[in-house]
DNA sequence: CGCGAGCTTGACGTTGTTCAACTAGAGTGG
DNA sequence: CCACTCTAGTTGAACAACGTCAAGCTCGCG
């Protein structure tokens, strides 16, 4: 068991989290964090943090793409936000709640390390600039959720799907051409509509030449017009 | 000008913000905050903080009810959240942004005082427990927005309106019977639907005996069933 | 008294969901 | 190596939900 947990996939000296941390805190303090930290790999689909569970640790996501997922009483899922590394996740609860408000799942292979919340809090409370930096990291999820919130709230499906395509292109894959890591079902959970509607709409965009669709591969041909659709609603 | 600004509506010694602050910081420090602070009153409908403006101060809301309002490129409004005093507002931007991401408007007569962001930040950075407390205050808006986000995202209008009625009853007016401070239009902007739809749905709830509707006065007769409608979607 | 803003109502067309049938690919076992 | 099954994706049609529109109403205010 210990053997597995201590497996190391990468060198901490190469890690952004160390670089950032050491701008604020002493190396010895970072070493304390590190000594309590464990490197982990997640396969596509794996749950990283479980909604409702007690949040005992953060995860510094060094590589990969994740979704923030909310499951309601009826078992219906809703994707609040999609984020890529680097990110500090789980922190949605630092200020707010003892238990995870959402689940976090890998939608691409992910790599990162756990960070002890209690210890990080203790260190951060002794160093306010560091605390500030950590909070910036942590509240990112809220900001990106609100982007999606606004899109959902007063656009119809055309606009929302255009929004999501642009978001994925510009914020996640950083290219006009990408292989979607989401299933159609997940896309629907992000867009707040049925999967059939996603399929119909993507097909329509394809037929109109806005995008090129080949299964999971999507190419945005006309970002201009997508932006117009997004703007118009 | 100065005369007007220095008008005082209430005694700071009675104010919750002082009580809380003085649990963490020295009286002399609080006096610094106070000396830079101005008491203000807002009438129903007045804008307290304007979306896009530089956020130079917080407002400690001592009395009243406010809405967080987002206006999109086409001039359409969306109410993200409704909150009542006591609250520290404008802070949605503390960690995140230099400019206000949303507007804040009074929907009932409000009373509060400005707080200098730079000074509060300076003091809070010297006192992490206080910083933490302030952050808790400030991030409340996010949590309550996400409540509404989830409701919007995968419930239909029936469920959303039931949600809002319950929210208003339990979190804002603290009674089963209240006089709505929102116009039908604003209710629609909160529910993410058309005002006619709000009217139709409220009328239906009325006819089914779930609520009693008399213009702006609403009585929740059957919270149980409203909860069921909310849950079912 | 008349005007205007907010509210209400019902009709109608559009949007979006649900359902059922079908296809394609991946994994399984004989 | 070929059925078989399971899952994800796709399609179109029927139906329900929702927005838009147009008309009329109410109430407060000049």
Compare B74 and B106 and report the one with higher pLDDT.
Answer: B106
- The per-residue pLDDT for range A25-61, each reduced to its tens digit, is 999 999 999 999 999 999 999 999 999 888 778 899 9
Using the Cβ of A201 and the Cβ atoms of chain B, whether some distance falls under 8 Å is answered with no
Whether residue A154 and residue B78 make contact (CB cut-off 8 A), yes or no, is yes
Using the Cβ of B150 and the Cβ atoms of chain A, whether some distance falls under 8 Å is answered with yes
pLDDT > 90? residue A223: yes
pLDDT > 80? residue A94: no
d(CA B64, CA B133): 21
Gap from A50 CA to chain B (nearest CA, Å): 17
When mean pLDDT is compared across A68-77, B167-176, B206-215, the lowest value belongs to A68-77
Determine whether the distance from the CB of A75 to the nearest atom of strand D is below 7 Å.
no
Those nucleotides of strand D lying less than 7 Å from any protein Cβ are: 8-13, 17-22
The yes/no answer on whether domain A155-232 falls in CATH 3.90.245.10 is no
User: What sign has the CA pseudo-torsion B140, A21, A119, B22?
Assistant: negative
- Structural domain boundaries in chain B: 12-144, 155-232
**A184: confidence class by pLDDT, cuts 50, 70, 90:** very high
Whether residue A135 and residue B95 make contact (CB cut-off 8 A), yes or no, is yes
Compare B80 and B1 and report the one with higher pLDDT.
Answer: B80
Using the Cβ of B142 and the Cβ atoms of chain A, whether some distance falls under 8 Å is answered with yes
Model pLDDT, residue B1: 44
Question: What does residue B16 show for φ and ψ, rounded to 5 degrees?
Answer: -60, -35
Q: With left for phi above 0 and alpha for psi between -120 and 50, is residue A51 left, alpha or beta?
A: beta
Using the Cβ of B124 and the Cβ atoms of chain A, whether some distance falls under 8 Å is answered with yes
pLDDT > 60? residue A3: no
Model pLDDT, residue A113: 94
Map tokens 């996939």 to a residue: A9
Rounded mean pLDDT, B136-157: 83
CB pairs under 8 A between A and B: 88
Contact in structure between A26 and A123 (CB atoms under 8 Å): no
Compare B152 and B22 and report the one with higher pLDDT.
Answer: B22
**CB neighbours (10 Å) of residue B179?**
11
CATH class of A12-144: mainly beta
CA atom of A122 to C1′ atom of D5, Å: 54
Residue among B103, B120, B144, B146 with most chain A CBs within 10 A, to mutate: B146
Contact in structure between B160 and B193 (CB atoms under 8 Å): yes
* pTM reported for the whole predicted model: 0.90
- The per-residue pLDDT for range B204-217, each reduced to its tens digit, is 999 999 999 999 99
Contact in structure between A40 and A112 (CB atoms under 8 Å): yes
- The per-residue pLDDT for range B110-122, each reduced to its tens digit, is 999 999 988 998 8
- The per-residue pLDDT for range B31-54, each reduced to its tens digit, is 999 999 999 999 999 999 999 888
pLDDT > 90? residue A137: no
Model pLDDT, residue B6: 63
- The per-residue pLDDT for range A167-177, each reduced to its tens digit, is 999 999 999 99
**Cα atoms in the 13 Å half-sphere on the side-chain side of A146:** 21
Map tokens 């990408």 to a residue: A178
pLDDT > 80? residue A91: no
d(CA A40, CA A90): 15
Using the Cβ of A147 and the Cβ atoms of chain B, whether some distance falls under 8 Å is answered with no
**B2: confidence class by pLDDT, cuts 50, 70, 90:** very low
Q: What is the CA radius of gyration of chain A?
A: 19
When mean pLDDT is compared across A161-175, B96-110, B209-223, the lowest value belongs to B96-110
Whether residue B146 and residue A143 make contact (CB cut-off 8 A), yes or no, is no
Structure tokens at A174: 């950083």
**A92: confidence class by pLDDT, cuts 50, 70, 90:** low
């Amino acid at each position: 068991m210990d053997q597995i947990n201590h497996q190391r996939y990468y060198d901490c000296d190469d890690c952004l989290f160390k670089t950032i941390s050491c701008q604020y805190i002493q190396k010895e303090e970072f070493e304390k964090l590190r000594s309590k930290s464990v490197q982990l790999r997640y396969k596509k689909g794996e749950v990283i943090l479980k909604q409702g569970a007690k949040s005992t640790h953060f995860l510094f996501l060094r590589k990969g793409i994740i979704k923030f997922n909310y499951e309601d009483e009826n078992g219906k899922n809703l994707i609040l936000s999609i984020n890529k590394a680097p990110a500090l996740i789980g922190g949605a609860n630092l200020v707010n709640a003892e238990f995870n408000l959402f689940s976090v799942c890998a939608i691409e292979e992910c790599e990162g390390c756990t960070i002890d919340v209690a210890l990080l809090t203790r260190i951060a409370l002794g160093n306010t600039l560091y605390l500030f930096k950590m909070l910036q990291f942590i509240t990112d999820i809220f900001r990106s959720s609100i982007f999606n919130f606004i899109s959902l709230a007063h656009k119809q499906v055309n606009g929302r799907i255009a929004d999501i395509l642009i978001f994925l292109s510009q914020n996640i894959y950083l290219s006009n051409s990408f292989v979607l890591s989401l299933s159609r079902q997940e896309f629907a959970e992000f867009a707040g509509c049925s999967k059939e509607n996603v399929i119909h709409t993507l097909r329509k965009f394809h037929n109109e030449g806005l995008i090129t669709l080949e299964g999971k591969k999507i190419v945005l041909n006309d970002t201009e017009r997508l932006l117009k659709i997004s703007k118009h609603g």
